[in-house]
Structure 1
């Protein structure tokens, strides 16, 4: 009976009918558990397949609950370094990321790195996603260092143009740009742009990082030229936002608002992270147009989106949103409230990014101006 249920479930899965296969798989697990025991390898293996079905159906909470319960006996039976154990832990980690449970995801990727010693796609992906989990916790320097370690290990073995290595390199320049390591970002972007085909989506991602870096250093005309060359109907959202940033930098705020309005049509515009980014840059454009009340409304939406994304105040985008909110409050003649925000922002930026980082300088400059007024 259990074998026939497993066979039927397998046939359904082969037709991508995971939901239809699920009740059969659960019944199979129940029957095998009675005969063989809940911690027998056949039962554990079927539970693993069930968890994969939940993952395919994007039922993340259920995936996490199932795998947290399954992994200890599964690893005990299979071994920590067994490919199925590694895959199960990677599935758990990516589900935790999707649920914004960043610290737990970081721990699971760390377990993979501790047990999967072979330098291959799996190890590089685990290292890259662990760094992403660190980023989401606002631990940008740790993320950059983790990616450095990953690349020093992987590049000599797999080559600098290997897909997994390229992904790690792109993740690294993202972190370096956030940390305002401008010379390193410029050099690595040029190298990657020379390696990737213009039609490769990764080319657009690298261009987005370069545009961010150019905007951060006040090279707005160069940023505009680069982003307009890369923009297409299917361009990544950061490119659209990069265009708005460079237009804001050139005091072309109405154009920036139009660019941001176009960006709202992007398929990913509704995510918390995207709403944080779009609302922050919109608030900056409105401030430039002398509309501080409207800017405050957008900045508060950005701060709320940062909370929804579960970013801590030290995350670079959350910090930018908070500084923008303080500027909007100050522009409306509420200096005490603005000073409270800016004092906290300046301290956070100084502690986590250093005294010369653009966020630190922006907060301290605004605070000094406020105290002089």
Structure 2
């Protein structure tokens, strides 16, 4: 299966660990027996039901009413996407692939009859996040509330809000299908090429234009920024329904806060070996490792004695066959973490300890 950002191909690499599906009641339970036969009363039965259809619908309506004004439509010269109001000063967080190489944008907010102009603050393609800022802040601009990614659970009901296919203020519904996914965008499909860890997988429909919008829980908190949707190559690359991915709110806040305070990202939290490299193939033309093209002086690889020409085949317990697999392995690590790197040099296999640097 290939996975794409609304219309971009990527790969997923994550173990399908056991998960728990949490179900909400879809209706109230009819009354049972009478008090004379000692059975549970109707009131007691109703109290035992987690939520009624009406209660659940009212909660949906409340969340949509509260959050949708914080979701905007972003138009670049050749692309269209969504964004989330980050603060009262007119800053909006979105995907880096939505802003692309553009510097100015047209933004439609919930309270603006005509599009407003906005300018790029900073784009961070390595995490596929960016912040833009409205040139003039309209009255009533409402920042979104961001949730705690650590509290997101499989089975949790979610709403995806954005502008799919240019249909502004659209909402789709689903659940959290999985957490902790690591995905890699395919730059040939228009993505940034980023490898992103700890993404939230959701069954809520993610379509072109949803990128950069809001994935929201039923408490009205943004738990992720919808970024990627699955496509099935066996179906001609058409969308695979119910498989989408969102950058977790914790990462969004980490990156956006740095951009707001410093105008750039100074602490990525992303581990690095400090090498540039390329995929190599074996005699059967199958990917067989990553050849080091250059080594950053003083970087993690340099300190470990790795040299240009070495072929990396393993990082920790992860087998490395391609540049993508190397990026995926490092995405789950942190700067300063100690690991091992196995490589071959002139046909001799070696393993060294490495303290990872920062990307």
Going by fraction, where is strand more abundant, 1 or 2? 2
Going by fraction, where is helix more abundant, 1 or 2? 1
TM superposition score category, shorter chain reference: under 0.3
The one of the two structures with greater contact order (alpha-carbon pairs below 8 A, sep at least 6) is 2
Query: TM-score, normalised to structure 1's length?
Result: 0.24
Query: TM-score, normalised to structure 2's length?
Result: 0.25
